[in-house]
Amino acid sequence: MFFNFVSKKKYLFLIFAITTLSFSCARTATVKESKKTIQITFTVQGNFQIRNDLGYYVVFNAPEPKNNVFRVAEKDGPRMNGSKDNSPISSYEYKTPFTGKYPTDTDESIWTDFFYIGLSPVNTGFVIKQGKKNDLGEITIVENNFQTISPNSILSGSNGFRLEFKLDQLSQLKVQNLKNITCNIGISNSIDNGLGQVFDYWTSNSPFSIELEKNKQVILQKFSPAIMKKIQNRPDPVLPNNVSLQDITLKDITININGA
């Protein structure tokens, strides 16, 4: 009888210890994931221009994992196909360069989040807007003045921009379970009054994968000139005054994953 009592106590203590340890490990993993940051630095061949007729878009596909699939196929990502043709003129879908798909586009743009860098509507300096896709598939601006972690966002020499944010600031709460996300970067008009025209996009308009488990630096280089893509039912893209072709030609991207 005494033996059975002691054995039960040992058994209950063991269960308690395992449960506590599991909870502690889960908590540690959650804390680790919440501290993971992504830093993306992109440059142009000429001068990085902050003005009211140019905009820079960093767009992501970071979906909630489904059916125990935790990797995003590289082809399933954002594409700078242009704006959505049948959307209202006042909508963001009409003004942004990653929401449309035209007959000449092989793949649709698959995205969940984006950051826009441009001149503030009142011309008081550059502004970063954070947007997400809502349940209706429409663009929602969730932050009109996003504060990037990087202290000096505009690179010295004015040839590029550094965007840094926490992974858990992307749309899906379970995004931390993903092994990777996909991304594309494009240069277009202003999100406030543009036409979603495409001045340039990353190489071949193909999304690139960002591996979230690797705590290291990745450098991507682009050698193709600005695309200046003609968008159906939109005027031909024309360079703004005092902006050269080199100024809107993407050159390279540096990706740093920290806390992985």
Give residue-wise pLDDT tens across range 52-61.
999 999 999 9
Are residues 45 and 149 located together in one domain of the fold?
yes
Q: Which domain holds residue 14?
A: 1-34
Pick the range with the lowest mean pLDDT from 28-37, 72-81, 176-185, 214-223: 28-37
**Cβ contact 39:256 at 8 Å:** yes
Are residues 26 and 111 located together in one domain of the fold?
no
Number of domains, the chain: 2
Are residues 16 and 77 located together in one domain of the fold?
no
Are residues 54 and 89 located together in one domain of the fold?
yes
Q: How far apart are the first and last CA of the chain?
A: 52
Of 84, 78, 72, 74, residue with least CA distance to 179: 72
Are residues 16 and 63 located together in one domain of the fold?
no
pLDDT band at 138 (very low <50, low <70, confident <90, very high): very high
Are residues 25 and 127 located together in one domain of the fold?
no
- Does residue 15 surpass a pLDDT of 60? no
Q: Letter for the amino acid at 70?
A: F
Are residues 23 and 89 located together in one domain of the fold?
no
Are residues 178 and 228 located together in one domain of the fold?
yes
Pick the range with the lowest mean pLDDT from 10-24, 190-204, 229-243: 10-24
Are residues 75 and 9 located together in one domain of the fold?
no
**Cβ contact 39:115 at 8 Å:** no
Are residues 92 and 3 located together in one domain of the fold?
no
Are residues 76 and 20 located together in one domain of the fold?
no
Are residues 196 and 238 located together in one domain of the fold?
yes
At residue 26, the pLDDT reads 43
